[in-house]
Amino acid sequence: MGKLDREFYNRDTMTVARELLGKYLVHAGKGCRRAGRIVEVEAYLGQHDKASHSSRGRTARNLPMFGPPGMAYVYLIYGMYYCMNVVTEPEGNASAVLLRALEPLEGITGRTQGPGLLCRAMDIDKRLNGCDLLGDELYITDAVPSNFRIVRRPRIGVDYAGAWAKRHLRFYIAGNAYVSRK
DNA sequence: CTCGGGATGCGT
DNA sequence: CGCATCCCGAGG
């Protein structure tokens, strides 16, 4: 299974989000390897998206979002969990896809239903912020083809974002047991 | 510098 | 619904 290349990420964010479903997220750490199948994601559509961290312009935290596609944007939330995004679209568009849930494949002990648990189970934290997903530590690979239906729903936890909160930018694999908040 | 709140998850 | 727990980002 090949690693996804730069051009995969350098596309329309909703397309990347949908196509990430079913792919494999791999964290090859020191001596241990963790992997899971991506089953739930959310799209964040650039600076005009009021729910996006990039909506108030470039800041210290969201810097990776403004960089080239194919990089990881990892941030701390509520003082105790990390969330991982993959940066999409050409540099400067400040768009990304949040990885919300995985189906465990390899080396995973904890739960993976939800962005915070996903990062904990995959041992993903601030150290991996800005990491290139075309490198050898953290990356996403193609998967064996499988048929599934994709469900679209409003994103979780962004009620403050007005009209943007209503848009169906959360995507998940229909019927999958590892999807959060079904 | 202070201060309010957050792309969460868990227990009540 | 409350809360843990801490960093970010806005404002003075």
pLDDT per position as a tens digit, A84-132: 999 999 999 999 999 999 999 999 999 999 999 999 999 999 999 999 9
Per-residue pLDDT, A181: 83
**CA gap A144, A148 in Å, rounded:** 12
Checking if the pLDDT of A31 tops 90, the result is: no
Per-residue pLDDT, A182: 78
Answer for A166: CB within 7 Å of strand C. Answer: no
- Whether pTM exceeds 0.95: yes
Positions 113-152 in A, CB within 7 angstroms of strand B: 113-118
Nearest nucleotide relative to A57: CA against C1': C9
Give the pLDDT band of residue A18 (cuts 50, 70, 90).
very high
Answer for A42: CB within 7 Å of strand B. Answer: yes
Answer for A62: CB within 7 Å of strand C. Answer: yes
Answer for A47: CB within 7 Å of strand B. Answer: no
**Helix or strand or coil: residue A108?**
coil
Is the CB of residue A70 less than 8 Å from the CB of residue A6? yes
* Nearest protein residue to nucleotide B8, judged by CA and C1' positions: A116
Residue range A49-55: average pLDDT?
A: 97
Answer for A53: CB within 7 Å of strand C. Answer: yes
A78 CA, C6 C1': Å apart: 7
Give the pLDDT band of residue A30 (cuts 50, 70, 90).
confident
Answer for A59: CB within 7 Å of strand C. Answer: yes
Count the residues in chain A. 182
Checking if the pLDDT of A67 tops 90, the result is: yes
Answer for A180: CB within 7 Å of strand B. Answer: yes
**CA gap A22, A14 in Å, rounded:** 15
Answer for A24: CB within 7 Å of strand B. Answer: no
Which residues have C-beta within 8 Å of that of residue A37, sequence separation ≥ 6? Answer: A22, A23, A24, A25, A102, A103, A105, A143
**CA gap A100, A130 in Å, rounded:** 18
Per-residue pLDDT, A27: 98
Cα atoms in the Cβ-side hemisphere of radius 13 Å centred on A173: 22
